[in-house]
């Protein structure tokens, strides 16, 4: 299985997309699709948000790194 790293721009909106955002929502759709079919292993770097950190635990083929701004 291939690994893909995603580094989100900005310092305001986290992933999983709990606060919206165009880029974040698009990446969230990709991760949701991958959750169903397990095609890739993703490594996601995102700004820290407590709600997003809790939600990220439910994704199996995704490794999240939440960075504090």
Nearest to residue 46, comparing CAs of 5, 2, 29? Answer: 5
Token pair, residue 44, equals 């996601």
- Where are the extended beta strands (E) located within the chain? 2-7, 40-47, 62-67
Q: Would you state the pLDDT for residue 4?
A: 95
Q: Would you state the pLDDT for residue 69?
A: 65
Convert the pLDDT of each residue in 21-60 to its tens digit: 899 999 999 999 999 999 999 999 999 999 999 999 988 8
pTM above 0.85, yes or no: no
């Amino acid at each position: 299985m291939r690994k893909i790293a995603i580094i989100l721009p900005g310092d305001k909106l986290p992933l999983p997309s709990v606060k919206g955002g165009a880029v974040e929502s698009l990446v969230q759709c990709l991760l949701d699709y991958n959750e169903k079919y397990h095609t890739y292993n993703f490594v996601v770097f995102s700004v820290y948000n407590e709600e997003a950190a809790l939600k990220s635990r439910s994704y199996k083929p995704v490794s999240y790194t939440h960075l504090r701004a």
